[in-house]
Structure formats: C-alpha cells, structure tokens
Structure 1
Amino acid sequence: MGTAVETAVSELRAMIVNGELPVSDRVTESSAASLLGLSRTPVRAALAQLETEGLLVKLEGRGYKIRPFSLEDLEKASEVRAALEALAAGRLASLGPSQETVAAIESSIAMTEGIVSRSAVTRREVAIYQEANELFHTTIVDACDNDFVRLGLEKIANIPIVAPGAFTEVEGMAQAEMLRITVGHTQHVIIWDAIRAGDAVRAEHMMREHAGAPVRYARLFIGEGYYKKLLSSGIVERGSAGPG
C-alpha cells in the first residue's frame, strides 16, 4: 500500500506542478484513480497528503481543487526557504564539512563551472544545472545537523520555482538563462568559500540572498517571458502582479 500511495502522490504532484490538471476542475478520488489506473484507497491517501502540502484545497462535499498561487505566495515561500537554508549554511560553516560533504559540493560546483565556461546554454546544460543546483542545496541541508531544517523545507519543496533545482527553461531566452545560471554558480562559489573558511555569518547572509531570489531573479533576468510561462501553466493566478 505504501508504494501505491507514493506512486499516486508523485504522479499527481507532477501533474499539478506542471500544469497538466486544469485548475478549474474538481479532483475526486474516482477521477484521480481513473487517471492513474490505481484503486481509490491509495489515491484517497495521496489526495490528503497533497492537501497537507498545500497543493490541493478540500471542497465542501467531495473532491479537491488545485490551489493556484499568486506571485506574492511564491515570494513568501521563497522567504521561508531562504531563512531555513541560511540557517543550514551557517550551521555547516560552524560545524565544518565532512569529507563526503566536500566531495559532493565540489562536484556540484565543477558541474556548473563547466556550464558557465560555455558561450551558450542548451536544454542539456539547463538539465545539468538543475541536477548540480539540487545537489548543492540538499547536501548543505543534509549536513547541517538539524533535521528540522529539512522537514521545514519539505513543506514548500513542491511550490513552483521555489525549490532547489526548479529551474524552468523559457523558450527564446537562452541568453537570459545563461546569465541566471552564471549568477547562481558565482553565489554557490562564494557560499562554499565561506563555509570552508568557517565564516558562519557570511555563509548565512549569502545563502539567504541566493535561496530567497528565485522569483526576484526570474523577473530581473527573464521578466515577462517567465511570467507568461507561469500563467500558462495555470499554477499562478491571473491578476497577480506581473514583472515590475
């Protein structure tokens, strides 16, 4: 049963975040079970979990509605992520990284360094950056010796563009994406240098800036193209403030 529930949660979550389920539709146990080809029992548990995660809203009577986010919601979630990851970076700087942590972070930085040395970015490079970015952030969180940081981050991990690795390509914006990747790589290097030097204050401050910036940097580097993509997914509400 656990495997069936995990499958249902994973597949429904991906459909919601990728905009594959219309926000206006009522999601019921029977409709979701039919869509996934599963029985209603694991689907019932999966829908309840996705409600807890904040991706679904329980309706009166039967069923759920996909929760649309405003840009303000995304900014608030980014603020929480920034505070938690800043705490993780500061703690790791104070504790000192293990050899395993050093190997993982330096592998991540080497991956992104290989991208920023290129003259252009392709879908392949975007995918590599996603992998490297997620490795960088999850390694620091896992190594900070505070499980509550990880548990807190799990609550917002599936909100669009907020989680590490949630880098979304925008067609026709390769130059802007390259700039965004370059800035991200540079910040990773600065954060890691502070951690290796045992400078908890600098590590915390730089991580807060870096981890709290997804929406702000999307507006800065990509602007209206990114906003239109978020709107087209159905996850972000129309009428929420666009690029300013």
Structure 2
Amino acid sequence: MSGPGQRVLALLRQMIAEGSLAAGERIAEIPTAERLGVSRMPVRMAFRVLEQEGLLIRHGARGYAVRQLGEEELAGAVEVRGVLEGLAARQAAERGVSAEVRAVLLECLERGDRLFEKGYLCEEDLASYHDLNLRFHQTLVEASGNPAIAAALARNDHLPFASVSALVVDREHLEREYRRFNFAHLQHHAAVDAVLAGQGARAEGIMREHANATLRYARLFGTEEGDSVGRTVIQRGSQKPG
C-alpha cells in the first residue's frame, strides 16, 4: 500500500479505536474520502484491509459498518498480547541482553521514575508516558531475538485497545490515572530486574500479568465500568497499554 494509503489506514484505525467511528456506524467511500480530504482510492484500499482485520464488516453492495467488538473479544486480544510479551521477556532473559538493550531498558525506567516522582500526572506527562512505554515494550520484544513474536503482535494489535500504543485515559480523574500508570511502571521495573537476572519464568509471569492488569484496572483502582466521561484514546499512527 502507498504512503497515502497507509496514512488513511492508520487514521481510520485510530478513529475506530477512539470511537470517532462508532460500533455499528455505516461508512462509505465518498463521504469518508471527503471527511479525510483524500481521493477514493486510498479509502477503498483501507476499507478492504480493515475488513480483513475484522474492524469493518460489509453492509450492502458497497458500504461497510464498524464492527461491534464484545468485551470477551477485546479481553482475549489483551490476553494474547500478554502471552506473546511474556514469551518475549522469557526468551530475552534466557538468551541474555546486549549492553545496548540493557541501556535502553534502564533509560525507560529512569524516565518513568522522573515522571512519577512528583506524585501526580499533568496533561503534558501523558505523551511522555506513551513514548517511554512504547519504547520499553518494543525493546523487550526485540530483545527476545524472535521476529515471529513481533509479527504475531502486529496482527493482534489491530484490535482496538489490544495495542501498547492505545492508552485509555480518564482525564477527569488524573489522580487515579497516576496510580494506574505508576503501578504499570513498577511492573516494568520488576520485569527488567527479572530479565537482567536471567530469570525467564519470572519475567514471563510479570509481563503476562502486566498485560492482563490493564483489563482489571477499573476494579483495582475503583474506576466505574462504563464511565466514559473525559476518557480518550491516545494512539499514534500505526505504532505499537501496558
């Protein structure tokens, strides 16, 4: 797919993930192209890819509708991510990491420490956390030395909220979100400690729990399920919560 096509595809994925294109909403080539300010061709190609990814379903001869994704399906996608990232952590621990990888992981921890040491989060911190979190997860996967893990994660990441790059943030309750992200950062510390110590089983368990904790944070930190006030999705392009 061309550069413009990739940009349209990434944008439509993001719009589905954040709810700008709601579940069940009907979409068609011409109005979507006009909305995005592009020609019909990249939209047509993007629709076909999104249908293959399970995010769109056919509706009529030419149209599509945004697929309704159930809670169990989303939970399954996050669980798969946990299994894959757990495997990556175990293999990284067992094979050992290079000095360069070690430096990157420690840098991510140090950046997170500085971010959370003040005891609260502000709007400006959200982008910083996204970047360091993304780099941490990508580095850990690359450290496994197993490209099949990255390939499997890339396929799984197409489901909304299964990707590390999609973080749901309740901006009305940043104090609670501070506790959630700080908890995730502490899990990063534990995972790096296990990887550098060569403790494969421990590293795997931590990363599996790390992914699954994103499903349970509402219960862990008292968030009311279904409360979407002030909640948005932070997602950058097609890069890869956690």
CA distances 1:63-114 after superposition (whole Å, capped 9, x unpaired): 1111222222221111100000000000100111112211221111111111
Whether 1:228 and 2:211 are equivalent positions in the alignment is no
SS at match of 1:101: helix
Report the Cα distance in structure 2 between the residues aligned to 1:128 and 1:20, rounded to whole angstroms.
24
Structure 1 spans left out of the alignment, 5+ residues: 234-244
1:201 is aligned to 201
Whether 1:123 and 2:123 are equivalent positions in the alignment is yes
- CA RMSD between the two structures: 2.1
1:101 is aligned to 101
SS at match of 2:227: helix
1:236 is aligned to none
Once the 2 structures are TM-superposed, how far is the Cα of residue 48 of structure 1 from its aligned partner? 1.1
Whether 1:4 and 2:34 are equivalent positions in the alignment is no
Structure 2 spans left out of the alignment, 5+ residues: 233-242
Alpha-carbon spacing, 1:22–1:168, altered in 2? closer, same or farther (3 Å): closer
Q: Between Structure 1 and Structure 2, how many residues are aligned?
A: 232
Report the Cα distance in structure 2 between the residues aligned to 1:165 and 1:22, rounded to whole angstroms.
20
TM-score, with structure 1 as normaliser: 0.87
1:169 is aligned to 169
1:240 is aligned to none
> Percent identity, aligned pairs only?
35
Does the 8 Å CA contact 1:77/1:162 hold for their aligned counterparts? Answer: yes
Q: Which amino acid counterpart does residue 213 of structure 1 have in structure 2? A: A
2:68 is aligned to 68
Does the 8 Å CA contact 2:81/2:156 hold for their aligned counterparts? Answer: yes
Does the 8 Å CA contact 1:162/1:214 hold for their aligned counterparts? Answer: no
TM-score, with structure 2 as normaliser: 0.88
Alpha-carbon spacing, 1:143–1:126, altered in 2? closer, same or farther (3 Å): same
Higher strand fraction: Structure 1 or Structure 2?
2
1:41 is aligned to 41
1:190 is aligned to 190
